[in-house]
Amino acid sequence: MDAARQRWATRAEPPGALGRLEELAVHLAGVTGRCPPPVPDAPAVAVFAGDHGAVDDGASAWPQVVTAAMVETMSAGGAAICVLARGIGASVTVVDVGVASPLGHLANVRHERVRPGTASIARGPAMAVSEAAAAIDAGARIAAELLDDGADCLIGGDMGIGNTTAAAALIGTVCGRPATDVTGPGAGVPAGGPDHKQRLVAAAMRRVEGCADPLELLAGAGGLEIAALAGFYLTAARRRTPFITDGVIACAALCIADLLSPGTAGGAIAGHLSAEPASGLALEHLGLQPLLDLDLRLGEGTGACLAFPLLRAAAATLAGMAALPAHPPTPGVD
């Protein structure tokens, strides 16, 4: 990172003229351990899907079957993430780590199902600790495979009706904020209204209050796709590969990953600021500044995909920009 800063100081521009693009290039140099950092040109997207038992308690305006329907849409290449991934030349792998509805054979879908959805976090633990660990392992395995196949930037996405309830509970617990601060509308305000969703989040937070073990916290109030994303990020950080986080679900996963392996968040690039309130609180807690703020709240990895061209621009500019020519001496002056 010091070498990258020194290189910027010699480029053909006024110091700091490229603003946060310079900071991003310095960050990439630190992540990769190279100056200038490699220009990423083989991004890979993995979307982890899982259902949430809190939907049965009225956590969402949508039923659980929508998760399976969206997995099918992603498999066919019709989801927003598929469109945006094609725009940046990224592959898309959809991973079933916990969809409640049965899925037949679908193209481009990996079946790594740990269990068919979680239990309701408003009434008890979402899953067993061993199941949370298994989902983390699944995400780590997918990341390793993508990197071994040549990916040089990883983008994690999520799909799961009810998952903003779990993400809010995790972020609220990690950041020490009440349910009222972290609960947003998600995919749509449930029939019971925002106050009902806040009560579900608060109930989950009370159960895991004081939990010192991040794996136990994840099992108590999280989701299978959140666990898989945490494993995905842990592997990317360990392999010194840039990874771009997405919305509030990704923020919850990164909070857990950073608890499991302190310093993981330091290798992340925050793609965007989600419209969900817990997103900004988590990013502030992790010391990350998002690249984009477009009022997105879709998930899937969409905001992270939109941020990828900025990574390419930052790395390419630092690598390809000419050095500032030395000023020739003025005649007659020593």
Q: In angstroms, rounded to a whole number, what is the distance separating the alpha carbons of residues 120 and 123?
A: 6
DSSP characters over 16-81: TTTTHHHHHHHHHHHHHT-SSPP----EEEEEEEE--GGGGGT--SS-THHHHHHHHHHHTT-SHH
Neighbouring-strand partners of residue 272 = 292
Q: In angstroms, rounded to a whole number, what is the distance separating the alpha carbons of residues 95 and 112?
A: 7
Question: Do 233 and 142 touch, CB atoms closer than 8 A?
Answer: no
Residue showing tokens 């509805």: 101
DSSP characters over 100-139: SS-----TTEEE--SSSSPPPTTTS-SS-HHHHHHHHHHH
Residue showing tokens 């495979």: 145
What secondary structure letter does DSSP report for 291? S
Check if 23 is active-site: no
Q: Which of 112, 131, 225, 300 is labelled catalytic?
A: 300
According to DSSP H, which parts of 240-289 are helical? Answer: 248-260, 277-286
Show which residues are catalytic. 300
